[in-house]
Amino acid sequence: MKVSYKVPATTANLGPGFDCLGMALPLYNIVTIEETVMPSTGIEVNVMNDVENSDILELDSIPEDKDNIVLKAVETLYNLVGQEANELKININTNIPIARGLGSSASVIVGGLMCANELLGFPADEDALLSVATEVEGHPDNVVPAVVGGVVMSSLEDDGSIVYRKLNWPEEWHITVCVPDFELATNVSRSVLPQMVSMEDAVFNSKRLAMLVNALDNKDEKLIKLALDDRLHQPYREKLIPGFKEIRNALKHEDNVLGTVISGAGPSLLIVSQKNNTELIRNTVTDIWKDFNINFEIKSLNIEKNGAKKVD
């Protein structure tokens, strides 16, 4: 038996929603798992993509051995239902830039779990899949929108369960993602964050997150310009993403731009605007990143409302 799932990219945090907000984006990885008939062939992992000569789809950083994250996810689910994962061929077709803050690892974890769950006869319901995916990924903000699509607030509760709700996203608002030509591993990007923050900064983020939810509900363009600010992670990550501060400040003065944030743990930048402003954004970002010798790809996107889907 052979099963494939197509899973969207995601952008986490959206500024103030550190580790609890995420949104699915229309870029996709496909995970295929096949039960091989020959006994004792073990588990084989292959990572591939269809794009030649892409700087941002560099596959060398994805292990194909026991450290592969899809394999870990699949083994976790098999063990949970009291089985061992044996004789499997896992193919990962990547089209989401790797280590760029676009949820490529969450996407393949979710794809692997969906395939494994189907091969096992669907022992896990959505709640169980979200818990396992979060356990493997470490936080829920990418895996939940990868499973359910849309913009989602999610919380990992003390008992390991995940509580989530979908939020609104104004149809007219446009998303532009600038993907630089360097990787930033999530663990590196998390290592610069403080263990403790001041009450003032915690209150600042509470206010921004409340503003953001309200701005999304009411398509409030004035409010979202304030709401996308953050003091919990972006100020510490600025030093890992040269030019981020300059780009954000330059775009702040453009009428149609509603805000610029780090996508997930970075280094990609996500710009929300009132309409498609790709050319203006491209020119501004090019001007700033060329001073830092950074090349980038620009992607003009909309929200992906659907999560992981089976591929026939």
Q: Which stretch binds ligand HSE (CB under 6 A): 11-19, 76-84, 116-124, 252-260?
A: 11-19
Q: Hey, what are 232's tokens?
A: 């919990």
190 is a contact residue toward ligand HSE (CB under 6 A): yes
Which C-beta is closer to ligand HSE: that of 68 or that of 268?
A: 268
Residue 260 CA to residue 96 CA, distance in Å, equals 20
Which C-beta is closer to ligand HSE: that of 102 or that of 301?
A: 102
Residue 55 DSSP one-character state: G
230 is a contact residue toward ligand HSE (CB under 6 A): no
Site string (39-78) toward ligand HSE, x via CB under 6 A: ----------------------------------------
13 is a contact residue toward ligand HSE (CB under 6 A): yes
Min dist CB 266 to ligand HSE, Å, is 8
Which C-beta is closer to ligand HSE: that of 43 or that of 272?
A: 272
User: Among 169, 173, 180, 207, which Cα is nearest to 295's?
Assistant: 180
Q: Which stretch binds ligand HSE (CB under 6 A): 115-123, 137-145, 281-289, 292-300?
A: 137-145
Residue 148 Cα distances to 131, 166, 304, angstroms: 14, 9, 10
User: Among 189, 17, 191, 194, which Cα is nearest to 100's?
Assistant: 189
Residue 7 CA to residue 69 CA, distance in Å, equals 15
Cα-based angle 84, 88, 91 (whole degrees, multiple of 5): 135
Confirm if 129 and 117 have CB atoms less than 8 A apart.
yes
Position among 16, 149, 242, 264 found at the interface with ligand HSE (CB under 6 A): 264
Residues near ligand HSE, by CB under 6 A: 12-13, 18-19, 139, 141-142, 186, 189-190, 233, 264-265
